[in-house]
Structure 1
Amino acid sequence: MMMLICVSFLIASFFAMNIGAGGAAATMGVAYGAGAVRSRKVALWISGVGVFLGATLGGDEVAKTISGEIIPDSMLTPHLAVIILASACTSLFIANRLGLPLSTSEVTVGSVVGAGIALHNVFWSNLVLIVALWILIPVTACGLAWITGRVIAVMKPRFEHFHWWKGKRWLPILLVLTGFLEAVSAGMNNVANAVGPLVGTGMISLSQGILFGGFFVALGSILLGGRVLETNGKRITHLSMVEGCAISGIGAFLVIGASLMGIPLPLTQVTSSAIIGTGMAREGFSWKQKLVIEQMLKVWLVSPLFSLVITYGLVKGGMKDFYSMVAVISVFLATWGSISLMQSVQKEKRSLHEDGGGI
């Protein structure tokens, strides 16, 4: 039993650090890309502090949802917690290897639901509400960003008579503050993904779990988030500082609201929707935005189902015997290996073609 508990905490801490590296660090991408924060190290520290603060101030509601409002907490055992966390980690690992931008929150919910389906006990009404808000909140973010973008476009010419150098002083500060607020919202919402199953089993109390998860998510953001910060910073350099403030502020406001309701929410989808709304206000609807929306819908569908299937297979396989579990794991590894091999072959063919050695 002690070994199982140790494994649970190791997986949870690893998962939390990946959440920090992948999602939490991105909250300062707008401020970093716009030059409001020039040092990458400073941007990551601001993100880490915001995440930890958000977790301690309001991370308990989402943790309660993950730990006992999707499936009964009486079902959660250390063995099942390990499966749920391992499935979520495995899903994200395979997705990263395949280049699929899966959502951490959706993967975690899918993993918990997979366990509930395998054991024939899911709170379907709560699950339907969560899934509905996964659609409604990003749509709301897009609408609010579009309205804000139109207001910015209308008001901008009227300010041309004023000294814009004054604005250059407070806009970077406002952009950093909204980015910090977005990091706080990430801490409130995403820390629960790593510690919810542990809280449900009773291996750790809710308050202790929040502190534990908040620390490792913040640590992952500070130590491992540099690459994500650079990538997101380069993606949004076309935004003005005013637009960046609006996007970060809208994302933070909506995610904090969802966190207080106990809804695990993909922050990246909310931010992406706000960026789409801003672009529509400035340039209208374009084919690039259509591609982004299509990708978001695919991520929304694939993320929970991916981890759901893995958890379901591991629970069913683990309930029988060791050989059944080996068979289930082999199927997943074979699937991943086949897809990876196909990608390698396609990459090799493209390389040969570009070098003149192909068809």
Structure 2
Amino acid sequence: MVQLLLVVGVLVAMFVAYNIGGSTTGPAFGPAVGADAISKTAAAALMGVFFFIGAWTIGRNVVTKLGTELVVDTGVFTLESSIVVLFFIGVALLVGNVFGVPASTSMTAVGAIAGLGLAGGVLDLAVMGEIVTWWVVSPIIGFWVSLIIGRYFYARLNRLVAMERSEGPLLDIDRSGVLPIPRVHQTTNRRELFGTITVISIGCLMAFSSGTSNIANAVAPLVGSGELAMDPAIVLGGIAVTIGAFTIARRTLETMGSDITELPLTAAIVVASVSSILVVFLSTLGIPASFVIIATVSIIGLGWGRATRPVTVPEAVTAEKSPSVTVDALAADEEGEELPPIGEEDPETVPSAGDLFDPATTARVVLMQNVVPAIASVGAYLTFRFLPIAGV
């Protein structure tokens, strides 16, 4: 009976990891895919590789901590209760993936474990309060940093990097020799190549960060119960994440890369940089990083900022007239054109926020990113509160 439960537990854990691959590939590589810097297939492959590296190295520490700090009695992690927790995490993430919205894996997993702890009276409220506080503060920081960059610094930044995509592929594959050798395409300029490498590298960093924290969301309950060893748990989780990245992640890549706001390569680098820096900061504090929320809100902030007049700081300080009226900022940004003085813009060229920012998609993203963790939390609590589950 125990062996059968263990098999079920492993399958449920892989189901969770599969949905983690679907929900986290979008925030990591959505900006790069939206900027046509990388294909969805290549993004999935990189996600699988760097997620596993992060999980195998630092992730094992998070696996250990997730099952010991959030609850004051680890005895609640029986094989039966672990399966139930993983089930609710997987179902909740699947709901987000079906709607094409990348849900926060950390919020969903912590919510399910909190439901177990609350039902059993062993939830550490101090630890839970610290985690929730940072979940509220970090997206606000990401939003305002991205908004400020989009409004005041984006035009100058884009002129410096000048990374508008050219016609044709970035690289050509020379297959004349024994081994295929990638070469820079003749229409690709150096700045474009540098920008592409930068945004993909940041995506790899985010995938690595996801592995360090999110592998615990899939396997921590089983490892904590003592029924599954650490190394095989990480291998199984990594395989399932890769499968999810190649399949169900395609919808979240579209949502994060193009549906919310237009993302030229420069914008993709800004979003990925802001998000990854915040995720690394939270990780150093030991907080389960909800980089899905941070990346989403950063995209929203950048889109909002770019929908306003992207003046430089000196212009904003010395201007006598209000810069609230915008010009056709995107065209000027991307083509390197000189912007008219503040207050002398052509009203007919003023873009609305809706030109860059899809309110309907944004509302769907924000709604689902709150609903999905709630499904896991409430479902787990009600199950452990009213059904006889061993250890609770």
Please tell me the TM-score bracket, short chain as reference: 0.7 to 0.9
Following superposition of structure 1 onto structure 2, how do residues 21-170 of structure 1 map, counting pairs within 5 Å? 21-37=22-38, 39-71=39-71, 72-94=73-95, 102-149=103-150, 150-156=152-158, 165-170=189-194
Q: Distance in 1 between matches of 2:249 and 2:40?
A: 10
1:259 pairs with 250, 275, 283, which one? 283
Shift of residue 269, structure 1, vs aligned partner: 1.1
Other-structure match for 1:311: 380
Does the aligned pair in 1 maintain the 2:23–2:93 contact within 8 Å? no
What residue identity is the alignment partner of 1:107? T
Hey, what does 1:199 align to over in structure 2?
A: 223
18 and 93 in structure 1: CA distance in 2 versus 1, 3 angstrom threshold: closer
Q: 1:282 aligns with which of 297, 301, 306?
A: 306
Letter in 2 for 1:67: G
Aligned length in residues: 317
CA displacement at 1:133 relative to structure 2:
0.9
Equivalent in 256, 267, 273 of residue 232 of structure 1: 256
Deviations 1:18-54 (A, max 9, x none): 11023225422221221212x4322211121121122
Q: Deviation at 1:208? A: 4.5
Partner Cα distance (1:174, 1:82) in 2: 40
TM-score (norm: length of structure 2)? 0.71
Question: Is the 2:53–2:208 contact (alpha carbons within 8 Å) kept by the matching residues of 1?
Answer: yes
Choose the corresponding residue for 2:234, options 174, 185, 210.
210
How far is the alpha carbon of 1:175 from its aligned partner? 1.6
Contact 1:103 1:299 in 2 (8 A): no
Tell me how far apart the structure 1 counterparts of residues 191 and 276 of structure 2 sit (CA, whole Å): 23
Contact 1:47 1:222 in 2 (8 A): no
Stretch moving more, 59-68 or 27-36: 59-68
Measured in 1, the distance between the counterparts of 2:137 and 2:110 equals 17
- The 8 Å contact of residues 97 and 252 in structure 2, kept in 1 or not, is answered as no
Cα gap change, 1:225/1:86 in structure 2, threshold over 3 Å: closer, same or farther? same
Say if 1:269 and 1:296, in contact at 8 Å, map to a contact too: no
Tell me the amino acid that sits aligned with residue 78 of structure 2. T
Identify the residue that residue 337 of structure 2 maps to in structure 1. none
Residue 8 to residue 312, structure 1, CA distance change in 2 (3 Å):
same
Q: Residue 9 of structure 1: CA displacement?
A: 0.8
Query: Which one has a bigger Cα radius of gyration?
Result: 2
* Aligned residue type for 1:181: L
Q: What letter is aligned with 2:67?
A: S
Structure 1 residue runs without a partner (length 5+): 322-359
Task: Say yes or no: does 1:248 pair with 2:272.
Answer: yes
Residue identity matched to 1:57: T
State how far apart, in whole Å, the 1-side matches of 2:108 and 2:242 are. 20
Give 2:62's aligned amino acid. V
Deviation at 1:134, TM superposition (A): 0.8
Q: What residue identity is the alignment partner of 1:68?
A: T
* 1:24–1:51 CA contact under 8 A, matched in 2: no
Partner of residue 13, structure 2: 12
Give the letter aligned to residue 48 of structure 2. Answer: G
Question: Does the Cα contact within 8 Å between 1:145 and 1:247 map onto a contact in 2?
Answer: yes
3-state DSSP of counterpart to 1:68: coil
Larger mean CA deviation between 13-22 and 67-76 belongs to 67-76
Q: Matches of 1:244 and 1:88 in 2, distance apart? A: 30
Q: Which moved more, 1:280-289 or 1:140-149?
A: 280-289
Q: CA 1:286 to 1:135, structure 2 compared with 1: closer, same or farther past 3 Å?
A: farther
Q: Which moved more, 1:26-35 or 1:202-211?
A: 202-211
Which residue identity does 1:12 align to in structure 2?
A
Displacement of 1:224 in angstroms is 4.0
Compared CA separation, residues 118 and 33, structure 1 to 2 (3 A): same
Question: Are the counterparts in 2 of residues 11 and 82 from structure 1 also a CA contact under 8 Å?
Answer: yes
CA–CA separation in structure 1 for the residues paired with 2:97 and 2:246: 20
Amino acid at match of 2:213: N
The answer to whether the 8 A contact 2:74-2:224 is kept is yes
> What CA distance in whole angstroms lies between the structure 2 residues aligned with 1:231 and 1:294?
12
Deviations 1:104-143 (A, max 9, x none): 2222111111111111111000000111111111111112
Instruction: Spell out, residue by residue over 1:140-192, the C-alpha distance to the aligned partner (whole angstroms, 9 max, x if none).
Output: 111222343322324545788xxx94422311111211121121122222221
Q: CA deviation at 1:261?
A: 3.0
1:347 corresponds to: none
Residue 204 of structure 2: aligned partner: 180
So what's the TM-score if we normalise by structure 1? Answer: 0.77
Secondary structure of the corresponding residue to residue 265 of structure 1: coil
User: What is the DSSP-based 3-state SS (H/G/I as helix, E as strand, rest coil) of the residue aligned with 2:227?
Assistant: coil
* Structure 1 residue aligned with 2:293: 269
Structure having the higher helix fraction is 1
Q: Mean alpha-carbon deviation: is it higher for 24-33 or for 10-19? A: 24-33
Q: 1:102 to 1:40 in 2, by over 3 A?
A: closer
By how many angstroms is 1:272 displaced? 1.2
1:34 and 1:99 map into 2 onto residues whose CA distance is: 19
Residue by residue, what CA displacement relative to the aligned partner does 1:293-321 show, whole Å, maximum 9, x if unpaired? Answer: 76566445433332222112222333189
SS in 2 for 1:319: coil
